[in-house]
Amino acid sequence: MGLDVVEYFAPRGADVSIVEMMPVIGNGIDPVSKVDINTLMNKYNVKQMPNTALKEVRPDNFLVEVDGEQKELPFDYGFVCLGMKAEHPVLQQIREAFEEDDVEIMNIGDSVRARRIIEGTEEGRNILNTLEKRGYL
C-alpha cells in the first residue's frame, strides 16, 4: 500500500516521503507500474529514502535510520506499510504503543494476507477514498 499512499497524496500537494528498508522502492512490481510511479514521484518531488529503516513510530514523527544516522521525519499523516509478511509482529507493538492515544490502527494489504498487487492497490484506493469521504483528508 505504500505506493498507493504516494499516488494519492503527492498530486494533492502533500509533502511526501517514502521510506523503504530495501535498496529499491517498488521492488517486484511490474515494469509499467514502476515507470508510472517513478514518473509520479519525480513530478511531485517525493522524497525517496531507500536503504532506510523505520526505528520508531511517534505521535507526530517517524524515527528512521539511514547510513547509521538517526533522523526524525515529522508528519501530519503517517502510514506504516509493512510489506508482504502477514500479521507482522510489529503490528501488535504499534497497537499497544497507541492504545492510549486517539489513533486508529488498521491492518490492511499484504499484512492481512499476501496477494496480487492489483488487489492491494484496489484496497489502498478504497481506504483512501473512505478517509476522504469521512473528511480525514
CATH number of 46's domain: 3.50.50.60
- Please report the pLDDT score of residue 117 as a whole number: 67
**Residue 49 and residue 64 in contact, taking contact as beta carbons nearer than 8 Å:** yes
Residues of the domain holding 14: 2-133
User: For each successive 10 residues of the chain (137 residues), what is the average pLDDT?
Assistant: 83 93 85 88 96 92 95 90 65 82 74 70 81 85
Q: What is the pTM of this model?
A: 0.64
Q: What angle do CA 104, 110, 116 make, to 5 degrees?
A: 140
CB atoms inside a 10 Å sphere around CB 81: 19
- Please report the pLDDT score of residue 85 as a whole number: 58
**Residue 107 and residue 131 in contact, taking contact as beta carbons nearer than 8 Å:** no
65 bridge partner residues? 53, 70
Count of domains for the chain: 1
**CB half-sphere exposure, 121, CA atoms < 13 A:** 10
